[in-house]
Structure 1
Amino acid sequence: MNKDTEIDMKEVELNELDPEKQPMTGDGQAAGGEKNGSVKLKVPEDEVTFTGLSKEELMKVAGTPGWVRTRWVLLVLFWLGWVGMLAGAIVIIVRAPRCKPIPTMNWWNDGPLYQISDLEAFSEGLKGVEAKLDEINKLKVKGLVLGPLHTVQEDQPNTLNLQQIDPTQGNQDALVAVLEKAHKKGISVVLDLTPNYRGASPWFTPGDVGDVMDKVKAAAEHWLDLGVDGIKVSDLTVATNSLDWSKLREAVQGNRTDNTKSRALMGVVEGVSPAEVSQLINTTGVDLVLSDLLSSKKEGKGRIMAMDTLHSQQRSLGWGLGAAQQDQLSKQAATPALIRLYQLLLFTMPGTPVFTYGDEIGLQAVGAESPKMVWDIEEKPAEGEAVNETAEAQREERVAVRTWFKSLSDLRGKERSLLHGDYYPLSSSTSSLSFLRVWDQSERFITAVNWGATAETLQFKLALTGSTEGLELPERAKVKLSTDKDQEVDSMVDLDKITLAPGQAVLLQFPYAG
């Protein structure tokens, strides 16, 4: 077979398709006369590559009237858009509600104070206080009030030594250890220097006040140099009438600057009116006044009137039930329900709540002696161990009261309306009261309590005054905390009226509506 024949045979093989590759239209040739399987490619003779305009060409085009007009239009649109956005931002800023400036706060305004008058009953003296600081810190207290710790014989001014710690309470090194550990946890420490704390009169006799005040001033300087954050004295009315009161003030409050932590001068008054408390705050320069007004004013109307008089001075006002006498709250709140009620009231009133050790678990005082603090209340009976049902019920109640206390302390520290908000009375009766706490654009809170023996219906009503202009109550509010089983947490209640069972309290919450 010659070469030409071989080429023809190969061409025939290439043109023959497998049966499955035959066209569906038949076995004829494809349109256009091409053979099946053949691909025709058209290769341009001269391939043109676009390289863009040169600089000279661009400048020539850019100078044309059409492009000049286009650029000006785009430039004008850009600046109009920019000016429009700027004007819109200005309008938003101007029309937006202005935030109210936060008032100047000191550490004694930031949370509750916790009094430990009998350190031995609390936990074996100063060393015990140091050991229990972790537990105290869980309560989110901002200050400890310790003592009095100094040595003195009852009604004997010549035995007074305000710079010597009673050996039954500890020693100076132990106090320094308490200060160091407390400061690491953000807790300040106030030392009670009430001179004649075991006697009939805190300042001995009227003739002794001048000499005793000099000793208190010297002791204040000594303990403040050691790291104490404040000084407390009782019977503030007598102390401030002394000609040497200004010297004590200077010793405690001197050298204050914006960059230093303020040291507190704290005083206690008993049996005085709200107006007299207000005058003491205004005229004596004392930082914090703790009164017994909540104890002495037994009716809701009296308590509301006291708050009406003093709420504007809340950053210098301390509230307690029994705290002025260094008694446990349970001495006047005889039932677990009332203990919870007064804890809620103290944490939401305008001012600093002051508690005595054991108040967080409802510790009961028996007789005149300081009650022994109860620890390890979280320990449940071991499995299989015989259970004293009465003791177990008491343990569980203490755990529940402490949980309630901690939730209130935590809430007060977070919510501006409760921390330093404005106060507005809503209602009061012989055995009940309610009030509103408001701060600027923050959540609002209503406290309602009924410490009476019968159920009571409270009707909330804002007095029409200049201070309440623009302030309105909504139709409904959410239950934030409650001791009343009929007022479940997170449920919604109508604010036209609310009924509380005997000895019950509720904290209601509603949002700011701008």
Structure 2
Amino acid sequence: MDTNKEAVEETDNTYVTYLQPGRMPLNAGDNSYGSAPGPGLSGSVGVSESVPLLVPEPVRQWQPMTKEELELTAGGPGWRKVRRYLVLLFWLSWVAMLATSIAIVVVSPRPVVTPLTWWQKSLFYQLQLDLYMEEHTEGSGNMNALCEQLPFLRSLGIGALILEGLFNKEASPLNFISTGKKFATLPQILHLLAESNKAGLKVVVDFCKLDLLRLQDVAGNADKPSNHSHALWFWLEQGVAGFAICDTDAAYSEKTLLEWRGILKEFSSQEEERIVVVKQMRDSLPPLNNGTLVDVVMKSILPSSRHVLSAKEVAAAIETHLQAREEVIWPSWTVEGKASHDLKKLLLVLTMTLPGSPAIQYDEISQTQNVSLKAGASHGEMTEPTDTDLDKEKMKHSAVALFTSLSRSRAREEALLYGTLTFLPFNFSTSPSNSTLASPSPAPILAFLRSWGCVHFLILLNVGPELHALAPAWAPSLPEAGVFVTSTGMDRLGSMTLKKLELQPHEAIVIKLFEAGSYS
């Protein structure tokens, strides 16, 4: 065996090579290589080869900082106190803001929902029964046609019928106007009442303009109930929801209404209360000592007139009602006066957006009839409809669509049911493209606001025949952005801004306003 063989020794995973005695070291000679200089020497000869070429750095073990080191790093003991104070200040501020928010919510006024009765939520439909019978087919079929329309009326949102023209002025409320061909009989009216109840429609019988005092006891005994009280009993037993009387009737008095109230109370319940409706024919309702005797006061927006009212007369009448103070008795608005055809839709929008229960006339909305073909005058022939018939049919469709839109908006929007009314003085400018040629006398134009909490509905009425745009300085406190709810032309859709809004002639617009970034 070769004694000069290199020996390899492994120590701590480091291989050290050395020569056994008797052998020449590898670094002998001047031109040696591979030697590692020792400390303090630079490449000297004879340095031991046992020194490792790479010396590993010592590994430091991690240790947590002491309290003194931590305080020194964080800035000293004073910084610890500052942090405590800042955390305490943050929580105190947060609690203060929370308490302030709660106090604002509790103290600030908020709308209180008052439970509404059925007549306060209902839409009244005034049906002149004698005129309806004259306009439609003769015989018993006309009453059947009316009964078939009841579900349609209910689908439009109508809640109650006011049956007018049932009695002659000389007749008793127990006897009908006539038994002729074009008038209803008692069995037909009872059938109508039964079908109305099936359709979910209340019925109010109109005694207006009847001489009820003539029906009093012939003996003149004031203590004995009048004969017309028996008529009330009869109709209430048939399911009638109430009665209407005019303030111009001779029987309109506190005594008569007290007698009515006593009878109605016996038939009333919490679910189905019977009511008294007073039609206001005068400028102001005659006062009563007991205000609880009347449930609804029906008013006309337009005054009675033999001629068609002009646009300025209509605007003056509307403004008078908008500026009037709120009445104690629940109002119901209708249109009895004469206005041009162009303003009928505008008045419909106004009636449906005023506080109270709208009362719609029969001719304002009616079930559309199929006029694509109509019966001929003889031999059962079918003739093509004329252009006039098609125009009337188109107007009926448009009126029904507008009424349906208003009815649905009123049913789902609290602002149109409970909201307060604020009349807005209207400052307007003429069409921007033609402002220099504007007439010095402005056309009648009106606006009002229905508000409930943070929700606002703006109703704009352009009664005049000219195009108008809103002035930039008009109602600066109102939100500028909004969304169209409906309009008389049924052509307003989507979002809008008041700065760019123009009102068409004889146009009414309903707008739901909202703040920027709000989606209420």
TM tier relative to shorter chain: 0.5 to 0.7
After TM superposition, the structure 1 = structure 2 runs for residues 336-485 of structure 1, keeping only pairs within 5 Å, are 337-361=342-366, 375-377=368-370, 379=372, 388-427=386-425, 431-441=444-454, 443-457=455-469, 472-483=477-488
1:103 to 114, 120, 134: 114
8 A contact 2:486–2:511 mirrored in 1: yes
CA distance in 2, matches of 1:344, 1:304: 15
**Which residue of structure 2 aligns with residue 230 of structure 1?**
242
**Which residue of structure 2 aligns with residue 116 of structure 1?**
127
Change (3 A) 1:412 1:101: same
Does residue 139 (structure 1) correspond to residue 153 (structure 2)? The answer is no
> 137-146 vs 448-457, which deviates more?
448-457
- How far 1:421 moved relative to its partner? 1.2
CA distance in 2, matches of 1:302, 1:261: 35
- How far 1:101 moved relative to its partner? 2.5
1:262 to 273, 276, 292: 273
Amino acid at match of 2:165: P
**Which residue of structure 1 aligns with residue 63 of structure 2?**
none
1:287 to 268, 271, 295: 295
Amino acid at match of 1:245: L
8 A contact 1:202–1:235 mirrored in 2: no
**Which residue of structure 2 aligns with residue 507 of structure 1?**
510
Change (3 A) 1:95 1:339: same
Amino acid at match of 1:395: E
8 A contact 1:311–1:351 mirrored in 2: no
Does residue 243 (structure 1) correspond to residue 255 (structure 2)? The answer is yes
2:332 to 294, 318, 324: 318
1:176 to 190, 202, 207: 190
1:164 to 156, 169, 175: 175
- How far 1:474 moved relative to its partner? 0.6
**SS of equivalent residue, structure 1 residue 219:** helix
CA distance in 1, matches of 2:274, 2:290: 18
Amino acid at match of 1:264: I
8 A contact 2:369–2:393 mirrored in 1: no
Amino acid at match of 2:244: K
8 A contact 1:294–1:319 mirrored in 2: no
- How far 1:500 moved relative to its partner? 2.0
Bigger radius of gyration, 1 or 2? 2
Alignment RMSD: 4.2
CA distance in 2, matches of 1:235, 1:105: 25
After TM superposition, the structure 1 = structure 2 runs for residues 288-303 of structure 1, keeping only pairs within 5 Å, are 288-295=296-303, 298-303=313-318
CA distance in 1, matches of 2:335, 2:126: 12
- How far 1:179 moved relative to its partner? 2.7
- How far 1:240 moved relative to its partner? 3.3
For residues 467-508 of structure 1, what are the alpha-carbon distances to aligned partners after superposition, in whole Å with 9 as ceiling and x for unaligned? xxxx951122222212369x732241226x854232111111
Greater RCO structure (CA 8 Å; 6+ sep) = 1
8 A contact 1:427–1:460 mirrored in 2: no
> 473-482 vs 451-460, which deviates more?
451-460
- How far 1:93 moved relative to its partner? 6.4
For residues 294-346 of structure 1, what are the alpha-carbon distances to aligned partners after superposition, in whole Å with 9 as ceiling and x for unaligned? 33593434423323334354x61111111xxxxxxxx72432x4222111111
- How far 1:143 moved relative to its partner? 0.4
**SS of equivalent residue, structure 1 residue 261:** coil
Does residue 307 (structure 1) correspond to residue 317 (structure 2)? The answer is no
- How far 1:385 moved relative to its partner? 8.5
Q: TM-score, normalised by structure 2?
A: 0.62
CA distance in 1, matches of 2:147, 2:121: 22
**Which residue of structure 1 aligns with residue 58 of structure 2?**
none
**Which residue of structure 1 aligns with residue 497 of structure 2?**
493
CA distance in 2, matches of 1:215, 1:280: 23
8 A contact 1:116–1:122 mirrored in 2: no
Change (3 A) 1:99 1:390: same
- What 5-or-longer segments of structure 1 have no aligned partner? 1-85, 323-330, 362-373, 464-470
Amino acid at match of 2:293: G
8 A contact 1:426–1:460 mirrored in 2: no
Change (3 A) 1:186 1:171: same
- How far 1:161 moved relative to its partner? 2.0
Structure showing the higher helix proportion among its residues: 1
**Which residue of structure 2 aligns with residue 194 of structure 1?**
208
Amino acid at match of 2:302: L
8 A contact 2:279–2:299 mirrored in 1: yes
CA distance in 2, matches of 1:254, 1:304: 41
Does residue 149 (structure 1) correspond to residue 149 (structure 2)? The answer is no
CA distance in 2, matches of 1:213, 1:411: 45
8 A contact 1:311–1:350 mirrored in 2: no
CA distance in 2, matches of 1:412, 1:400: 18
CA distance in 1, matches of 2:323, 2:228: 34
CA distance in 2, matches of 1:143, 1:409: 14
CA distance in 1, matches of 2:501, 2:126: 35
CA distance in 2, matches of 1:403, 1:252: 37
**SS of equivalent residue, structure 2 residue 190:** helix
Q: TM-score, normalised by structure 1?
A: 0.63
8 A contact 2:209–2:249 mirrored in 1: no
**SS of equivalent residue, structure 1 residue 359:** coil
8 A contact 1:301–1:430 mirrored in 2: no
For residues 50-96 of structure 1, what are the alpha-carbon distances to aligned partners after superposition, in whole Å with 9 as ceiling and x for unaligned? xxxxxxxxxxxxxxxxxxxxxxxxxxxxxxxxxxxx99999876655
